[in-house]
Amino acid sequence: MNNYKRKLTEKTINFYPPDKECYACYDTGIVNNSDRLVNRLFWNDYDIDDKGRNFAGSDAAIICHCKRAYQQLDEDQNVINSGYRDSLGNIKSVVTSSGEHTLGVSLSKDQTRMLHHKRKECWQQSVKLMNDYRLQNINNSKKELPYFIQTVKETLKNTPSLFSFPTEKATVESMKLNQSEPPHT
């Protein structure tokens, strides 16, 4: 049997949340905002550009307060991650060609903790919801899906093809077409 095939005994119907210690940064040291919780709770214009569009990375990174934001060593005391804060908790800075920059900004410890607790709670709710659905679906020939998965599925159905990029030839041709078009008067 191929080594990527799971044994039947390894499979369960349980839904598992991400196995992380810190849900503020998902153990990366940089506070995550993919669910826009930072906007909803604290900074409503965070990572939103001048035109009001969501643009992840347009603002400074938010450095977490958990141990993942600090230097990490392995058993032999080798540095495996240099971290974003020094031993006093100050955010480190780097010198680049355009001068000295700090690696990011901070929410307060209480705010960061709030992100962690709220997300942890949401994951627990998702676990319960998903497990209820899975249990319920075991004997159903027509599988029911939670509304948020159903919505995404429907949206994707109406998307022509996520991976159909124009070929180089088509791009060049459409550029030529645009150039040869007389200006509208």
Enumerate binding residues for Zn ion (CB under 5 A): 22, 24-25, 64, 66
CB of 56 to Zn ion, least distance (A): 18
Q: Residue 15 or residue 83: which is nearer to Zn ion going by CB?
A: 83
CB of 129 to Zn ion, least distance (A): 25
**Local structure of residue 91 (DSSP, 8 states):** B
Query: What letters, b where the CB count within 10 A reaches 16 and e where it falls short, cover 106-132?
Result: bbeeebbebbbebbeeebeeeeeebee
3-state secondary structure of 72: strand
Q: Residue 62 or residue 64: which is nearer to Zn ion going by CB?
A: 64
Q: Which of 91, 84, 32 is nearest to 56 (CA)?
A: 32
Contact yes or no for 33/39 (Cβ under 8 A): yes
Q: Which of 149, 101, 165, 122 is nearest to 34 (CA)?
A: 122
CB of 66 to Zn ion, least distance (A): 3
CB of 20 to Zn ion, least distance (A): 8
Q: Residue 25 or residue 103: which is nearer to Zn ion going by CB?
A: 25
Q: Residue 117 or residue 143: which is nearer to Zn ion going by CB?
A: 117
